[in-house]
Structure 1
Amino acid sequence: MAEHNIRFRILTHLIAAGAGGVLAFVLADKEPAKTPAPDEQIVQDPAPVVEVPKIPVIPVPSPPLDRAALLAAAASAADAAASGSALPQSNAALTGRSFVLRMPFGCRGEMADPKGADAKEKPSWAGWSFNPKSRALRLTAQASDLAETEWVKQLAGEMTFDAVEGFWLRRPWTRTEQCGADDLAPTDDMLDASQRRLAIAQFYSPEGSRTLRRGNRPYSSTVKLKENETPSSNGYQLQLEGKISGFPDGQPIHCSQASPSVAPRCVIAVQFERVAFVAPGKDEPIVEWR
């Protein structure tokens, strides 16, 4: 009996101890959250930083300079030469830019046969002829040699060169690249000295590339037209492409004025990269040189 009482007491203590532990756990679980003191800061975990990938900015190249842009720059340079002021910095920013220039020729029809009775003493700088029997269209253009021109030498300054080849721009007072009314007049297509006011030319250095250097050789080619194809009634165009190279002072255009009563003469210094014959309104070249 005594042993039974002892076991009962031990079991009673164990049950009491277990109940106390469960009660303590429940009370601890229900204990209200601690309120931080007024001067105590709550430190929160920083929000994750989401990195948005940057889209690369691809620089858009400037469009090639056209006839209008070249004429505007030449007019600014001529104005500076006439007024005795410094060349505009806006022109200097054009150095290194690409350009595309189309020059019309053969607007009055076929060039005269140099051996015929109607041959002129001075042939045109460019022209075309067509043989209806063989259907052969011949196109030709001759660059001007400016290396021995005294005023060009003065404009070149300290630039070293052994050749200067380029072309005079007809009708530099208009931006159009098509044949004009004066091109259709029955007059010689050769420009006289008074009309040679603006040239675009490359100064070839002794160690530079001579890919498009022509010397006395004209740009000339003969192509065969199809049976239903006729020569252009609006003449043809010589397309010049390249980059503005500029002079040693960083300016792309230099001008010279012999007299205050005469318009300045200017030269645009460039590097030719492509020369082509094209028909007006068409992009596909008839023939090209690179």
Structure 2
Amino acid sequence: MNWRALLAGGVFLALLIAAVLIARPGTKTVDEVSPPAPRPVQPEQPTTLTPLTRADLIDVAARAADAHARGVAIAPEDNALVGRPFTVTLPFGCDGPAAAASEAPLRWSYDPEAETLRVWVTSNIWTDAAPVRKAAEGIDYEAAEGFWIERPWLRSGECPVTPQLNEAGAAAPGAAEGNETAVQASLDETASPGDSETALVSARQTLALVELFEPGSRRAARRNGRPYTVVTKLAPDAIDLSKGLRVVVTGRLARLTAGGPVACDGTFINERPLCLIGVEIDRVAITDASGERILGEWGS
């Protein structure tokens, strides 16, 4: 083999290698490599708000009552609570079973022979109540219903402890403090006793949840005086009735005034103002005193 043959073979091999490199798909120089595609931005997940509790709403009302008494505006952060979820516990029947002729809106009775528990929970109708009309001025509504938050000094939602009696059989000093000055008040002072839209209460009844039903709203959500009722068979030791029962109201705060969800009003400087909290109720449940056993529940 001469040198010309070797040279021709080398040239042929070089051309073959070059052809292979050029034909390889996807081969790029360093300068031609595309940058990595940016990762898509993940949308922020909405933050789940912790439901406000009975204690939280009592605090909101206390701040609003303080603002009303001082003649100043309610704090902006409290007005901004519209739409915030809440769960409020309302203990009832703390004094024991209701008498047969009782018409208390929240009551229970137990028949030990039939081993039957009966419960009645009726929301108040406040459509024409003067404090509601005043608080909701400018809001078009056709009905107003709600619940009292009784004993708003109790933040836990439990029945109070029965006052201890002294040897004479009277309540211990301080147990009945303030009873002498208790006066009768009404959401609608012009209504007559027995009126379905009247709620005669003592001056200590100062905090309420109020739901306004605007024209065109779902009528199924309105109770119109129909009670939530439970009739169930229970053995005498099935639940502890000595501590009463509970109503658990779940929903969202709603606009009651032009400013926000709470409005307070008062007539006398030495009395706590009456405060109303606007709500939209999603669920009402009746439970035992522990809250663990649900006796009945209703969704709106």
Q: TM-score, normalised by structure 1?
A: 0.75
Q: Percent identity?
A: 30
1:139 pairs with 2:119: yes
1:242 matched residue in structure 2: 251
> For 2:159 and 2:134, how far apart are their aligned partners in 1?
33
Give the number of the structure whose alpha-carbon radius of gyration is greater: 1
2:298 matched residue in structure 1: 289
Indicate conservation of the 8 Å contact 2:135/2:257, yes or no.
no
1:169 to 140, 149, 158: 149
Distance 1:260 1:182, change over 3 A: farther
Please state whether the residue corresponding to 2:104 is helix, strand or coil: coil
1:70 to 32, 46, 57: 57
1:249-268 equivalence runs, <5 A: 249-268=258-277
Please state whether the residue corresponding to 1:90 is helix, strand or coil: helix
Please state whether the residue corresponding to 1:242 is helix, strand or coil: strand
> For 2:93 and 2:63, how far apart are their aligned partners in 1?
30
1:149 pairs with 2:129: yes
Which moved further from structure 2: 141-150 or 90-99?
141-150
Aligned-residue CA RMSD in angstroms? 3.3
Letter in 2 for 1:237: R
> For 1:266 and 1:131, how far apart are their aligned partners in 2?
38
> For 1:180 and 1:191, how far apart are their aligned partners in 2?
22
1:269 matched residue in structure 2: 278
2:217 matched residue in structure 1: 208
1:13-32 equivalence runs, <5 A: none
> For 1:126 and 1:23, how far apart are their aligned partners in 2?
105
Q: State how many pairs are aligned.
A: 254
Once the two structures are TM-superposed, the CA of residue 243 in structure 1 deviates from its matched residue by 1.4
> For 1:113 and 1:19, how far apart are their aligned partners in 2?
122
> For 2:125 and 2:147, how far apart are their aligned partners in 1?
9
Letter in 2 for 1:134: A
Letter in 1 for 2:112: P
1:216-272 Cα offsets, whole Å, 9 max, x none, are: 332222111147525522110011111111125240001112122222111111111
Please state whether the residue corresponding to 1:233 is helix, strand or coil: helix
Give the gaps of 5 or more residues in structure 1.
1-13, 26-42
1:46-94 Cα offsets, whole Å, 9 max, x none, are: 5742645655543231121111111111122212211111221111221
Distance 1:230 1:247, change over 3 A: closer
1:91 pairs with 2:100: no
Once the two structures are TM-superposed, the CA of residue 184 in structure 1 deviates from its matched residue by 9.1
Q: TM-score, normalised by structure 2?
A: 0.73
Indicate conservation of the 8 Å contact 1:107/1:183, yes or no.
no
Letter in 2 for 1:251: G
Which moved further from structure 2: 130-139 or 48-57?
48-57
Indicate conservation of the 8 Å contact 1:64/1:99, yes or no.
yes
Letter in 2 for 1:124: A
Indicate conservation of the 8 Å contact 1:108/1:183, yes or no.
no
> For 1:183 and 1:47, how far apart are their aligned partners in 2?
81
Give the gaps of 5 or more residues in structure 2.
13-29, 166-170, 180-198
1:111 matched residue in structure 2: 98
Distance 1:18 1:104, change over 3 A: same
Once the two structures are TM-superposed, the CA of residue 147 in structure 1 deviates from its matched residue by 2.1
> For 1:19 and 1:161, how far apart are their aligned partners in 2?
104
Letter in 2 for 1:106: G
Indicate conservation of the 8 Å contact 1:164/1:203, yes or no.
yes
> For 1:60 and 1:204, how far apart are their aligned partners in 2?
28
> For 2:46 and 2:164, how far apart are their aligned partners in 1?
44
